[in-house]
Amino acid sequence: MKLLIDAGNTRLKWRLEQAGGVIDEGWSALRGPDPLADIGIHPGNVSRVAVSTVIHEVKRLELLSYLERKLSAPVHFYWSEAERCGLRNSYVDVRAMGADRWHAMYGAWKHCNGGYAVIDAGSAITVDYVDGSGEHLGGYILPGMTMMLNSLKNDAARIVFDAREVFVGHPGKSTGECVNQGLSWLIQAMIGRLEVDMANFNLRAMLVTGGDAGRLLELGLKGAYHPSLVLEGLAHIDREVSGE
């Protein structure tokens, strides 16, 4: 049985696979003492571990140590690459691209027959465009929704608001409404730019993933929701590397 892990800045998503089929999956806070406590199998049943991560090296080594203590299986970390099976990275220094972006793009590459966009709405919002030939056209990195809210809450002492107030799409009449509608306004502007780029680059599909994907879809993003896109791309790569 194989364990796949997508370790982001705040969450650890995991999936158990056997013979290419999904057995179970879930997520937990990365900072917890035992992020894999909810996996309902004996650790000895895991024969291989594949990890995609963007965390700092000190945290990565802590994660590696934790996995080695909990499991007896070898742990393989996968990073961004220059090319794989027709998908070509536009970065000159591919090591500078977050592994999650590459793995999400590769998962989408396996799904799509033509050009596509991948939007990953996590701590940061990343946008990547790939044309029908597999050429990565580049992308964008924006602050995530929670990051933008926290910036206002932490860096503007006199702006007091409840980040949980509902987005309703009209000018705000309280500080909370102004903040939340302002964020909605920015996201809708991003969505408009995405639609223009999709048309200009002749991209057919939009795949959306990440913890805030649902909120983007509520605000009008017209994409297909793939909550485990990073893990899907990671699974394909690990199978190819291991010769399965």
Q: How far is CA 42 from CA 39, 72, 235, in A?
A: 8, 11, 21
Of 100, 128, 212, 238, the active-site residue reads 100
Task: Indicate the burial class of 186 (C-beta count within 10 angstroms; 0-12, 13-18, 19 or more).
Answer: middle
Whether 155 is a known active-site residue: answer no
What residue type is assigned to position 175 of the chain? T
Task: Determine phi and psi for 198, rounding to 5 degrees.
Answer: -60, -45
Distance, in Å, from the CA atom of 63 to the CA atom of 13, rounded to the nearest integer, reads 13
Distance, in Å, from the CA atom of 68 to the CA atom of 237, rounded to the nearest integer, reads 22
Q: Hey, which residues does 83 pair with through a beta bridge?
A: 88
Using DSSP, how many helices (H) and how many strands (E) does the chain show? 6, 12
Distance, in Å, from the CA atom of 125 to the CA atom of 42, rounded to the nearest integer, reads 36
The two three-digit tokens of residue 140, written as one number = 């964008």
Distance, in Å, from the CA atom of 79 to the CA atom of 60, rounded to the nearest integer, reads 13
Distance, in Å, from the CA atom of 96 to the CA atom of 244, rounded to the nearest integer, reads 29
Residues that are catalytic: 100
